[in-house]
Structure 1
Amino acid sequence: MLLMKADRFFLRYFEEGSRPSAGTRARWLQTKVVPSKKVGGQWFVDVHAWLADGNALVEMVLAG
């Protein structure tokens, strides 16, 4: 599991013109559309789970 701050995640994985709005990002994090975890009021995204897209084998390879 590789956790990245949500704001950095959205900047890295979404191009300027296709980046979701702040409201959409918050909803995606809360409803787990993006694999996420809230720690002390800060949202983090599980990048390995995002890249694996639900494939357990890919997630194991990414985790090392």
Structure 2
Amino acid sequence: MLLMTPQQWAAKYFDQGSRPSEITLRRWLSDGKIPGRKVGGSWFVDEHAWLADGDELVLRVLEDT
């Protein structure tokens, strides 16, 4: 399991102009749209679980454009 901050995850997988806001990232995490966990009040994305999911979130974002 590789946990990373939502900001790190967004910087890795989204271009500067298309990165979701921090509020959106936290909502996606709390809604289960991206896998992660809350540790001590802070959210972290589980990058390994997200990659294993087949990048559904990326596919949905691309379909909306």
Please give the TM-score of this superposition, normalised by the length of structure 1.
Answer: 0.72
Separation in structure 2 between the aligned mates of residue 6 and residue 20 of structure 1, nearest angstrom: 10
Report the residue type matching 1:16 in the other structure.
Q
Query: 1:23: which partner in 2?
Result: 23
**Which stretches of structure 1, 4 residues or more, deviate above 6 A after TM superposition?**
none
Separation in structure 2 between the aligned mates of residue 24 and residue 6 of structure 1, nearest angstrom: 10
Structure ID, larger Rg: 1
Mark the runs of 5 or more structure 2 residues left unpaired by the alignment: 55-65
- State the superposition RMSD in angstroms: 1.4
Query: 2:6: which partner in 1?
Result: 6
Query: 1:41: which partner in 2?
Result: 41
Post-superposition CA distance 1:4-34 (Å, at most 9, x none): 1121111111111221123321210110101
Match of 2:24, SS state, is helix
Mark the runs of 5 or more structure 1 residues left unpaired by the alignment: 55-64
Report the residue type matching 2:8 in the other structure.
R
Identity of aligned residues (%): 57
Q: Is the 8 A contact 2:36 2:45 kept in 1?
A: yes
